[in-house]
């Protein structure tokens, strides 16, 4: 297939690379920054604009930082929408607003095209290894059509529901991940200040109902003080902002998410916007005047 890929950053670059390696013809677009040389070396074609990229492609992917960036890529002058012809598929893999996604999908479908929202979980490591979890919203027919492309990038690919459902599912994912990080932080700081060794507490707890990916991976990061990202605090702040906006719109009380966002804000205020989100433990350490100590 001819594939256009907009957004070749930390996540998008390895994802586009995997599609290219699988034998697809790749089109990328000019940025302010130089385009990734490895993609060009492997034969990627540099389009003059998002419009030109869309004209050349069967399927157009976007993988950009936020809702405004997706809207801009799709609907600005000489954007993707201007280059679409009926039958093409637009797939947004960014993590953005579920309700804005419903609007974008409607506008794309009015052009006779298909739209899928397909945000991912698994980080840059998952992007490189093709082990992402991909949560998809949209119709079944285009989903089945592009499923082989998803399979090149992800290990768990789930059609969750209609347009916006992928983004809503990602929001739910980020709520649970963020709250779990706070839970592990809170439990480790309390037990450490009580004199326990966090290494043994983590081990004992992994054997029971408190077990989770976050206790395993991020609990270890907290103990090792391994706070280089990974998943940045500032991106998780954005995701929890989306969660709270959806919750407000729908009338759902989300007290744990609210508290978790406050703690992320505190962590960012302490200079941690660019730290890995496991560094949320530092906000707790500040409040307790106690740093996790291993015996």
Restricted to residues 147-166, the positions that interact with its own copies (CB under 8 A) are: 155-156, 158-162, 164-165
Beta partners for residue 45, in sequence order: 27
Q: How far is the CB of 292 from its own copies (least distance, A)?
A: 12
Nearer to its own copies, 6 or 182 (CB): 182
Would you count residue 133 as binding its own copies (CB under 8 A)? Answer: yes
Would you count residue 98 as binding its own copies (CB under 8 A)? Answer: yes
106 is catalytic: no
Would you count residue 279 as binding its own copies (CB under 8 A)? Answer: no
String of DSSP letters for 148-190: HHHHHHEEEEEEEESTTHHHHHHHHHHHHHHHHHHHHHHHHHH
Among 23, 86, 255, 271, binds its own copies (CB under 8 A): 255
Identify which of 161, 156, 287, 171 has the alpha carbon closest to the alpha carbon of residue 239. Answer: 171
Among 168, 222, 279, 292, binds its own copies (CB under 8 A): 168
Please give the residues from 171 up to 200 whose contact with its own copies meets the rule CB under 8 A. Answer: 171-173, 175-177, 179-180, 182-184, 186-191, 193-197, 200
Question: Which residue has 């280089």 as its token pair?
Answer: 228
Alpha carbon 215 to its chain's center: 20
Identify which of 185, 158, 208 has the alpha carbon closest to the alpha carbon of residue 286. Answer: 185
Would you count residue 103 as binding its own copies (CB under 8 A)? Answer: no
d(CA 244, CA 67): 15
Please give the residues from 37 up to 66 whose contact with its own copies meets the rule CB under 8 A. Answer: none
Q: How far is the CB of 117 from its own copies (least distance, A)?
A: 12
* Set 106, 170, 238, 291: catalytic member: 170
- Segment near its own copies (CB under 8 A); pick from 18-26, 30-38, 81-89, 252-260: 252-260
Cis-peptide, bond into residue 20, ω within 30° of zero: no
Nearer to its own copies, 251 or 271 (CB): 251
Sign of the C-alpha dihedral, residues 21, 161, 64, 112?
positive
Nearer to its own copies, 54 or 168 (CB): 168
d(CA 226, CA 276): 8
Among 96, 257, 276, 282, binds its own copies (CB under 8 A): 257
Would you count residue 119 as binding its own copies (CB under 8 A)? Answer: no
Among 85, 103, 144, 211, binds its own copies (CB under 8 A): 211
Cα–Cα–Cα angle for 190, 194, 199, nearest 5°? Answer: 75
* Distant-in-sequence, close-in-space partners of 63: CB < 8 Å, separation ≥ 6: 5, 6, 7, 8, 9, 11, 12, 15, 93, 94
d(CA 292, CA 295): 10
Look up residue 106 and give its two tokens: 């409607």
Among 53, 60, 74, 260, binds its own copies (CB under 8 A): 260
Nearer to its own copies, 24 or 202 (CB): 202
Among 43, 86, 208, 271, binds its own copies (CB under 8 A): 208
Active site residues: 170
């Amino acid at each position: 297939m001819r594939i256009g890929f907009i957004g070749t950053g930390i996540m998008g670059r390895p994802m586009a690379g995997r599609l290219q390696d699988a034998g697809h013809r790749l089109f990328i677009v000019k940025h302010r920054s130089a385009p990734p040389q490895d993609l060009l070396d492997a034969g990627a074609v540099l389009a003059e604009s998002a419009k030109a990229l869309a004209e050349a492609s069967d399927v157009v992917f976007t993988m950009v930082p936020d809702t405004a960036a997706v809207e801009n890529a799709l609907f600005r002058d000489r954007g993707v929408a201007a280059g679409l012809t009926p039958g093409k598929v637009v797939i947004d893999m960014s993590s953005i607003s579920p309700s804005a996604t419903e609007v974008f999908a409607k506008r794309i479908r009015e052009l006779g095209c298909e739209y899928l929202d397909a945000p991912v979980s698994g980080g840059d490591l998952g992007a490189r290894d093709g082990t992402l979890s991909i949560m998809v919203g949209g119709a079944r027919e285009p989903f089945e059509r592009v499923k082989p492309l998803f399979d090149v990038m992800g290990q768990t690919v789930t059609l969750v529901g209609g347009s916006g459902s992928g983004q809503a599912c990602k929001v739910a994912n980020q709520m649970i991940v963020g709250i779990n990080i706070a839970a592990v932080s809170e439990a480790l700081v309390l037990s450490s200040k009580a004199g326990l060794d966090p290494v043994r507490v983590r081990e004992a707890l992994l054997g029971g109902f408190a077990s989770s990916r976050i206790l395993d991976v991020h609990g270890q990061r907290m103990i090792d003080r391994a706070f280089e990202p990974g998943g940045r605090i500032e991106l998780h702040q954005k995701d929890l902002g989306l969660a709270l906006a959806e919750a407000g719109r729908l009338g759902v009380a989300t007290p744990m998410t609210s508290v978790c966002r406050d703690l992320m804000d505190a962590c960012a205020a302490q200079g941690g916007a660019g730290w890995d989100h496991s560094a949320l433990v530092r906000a707790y350490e500040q409040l307790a005047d106690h740093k996790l100590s291993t015996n």
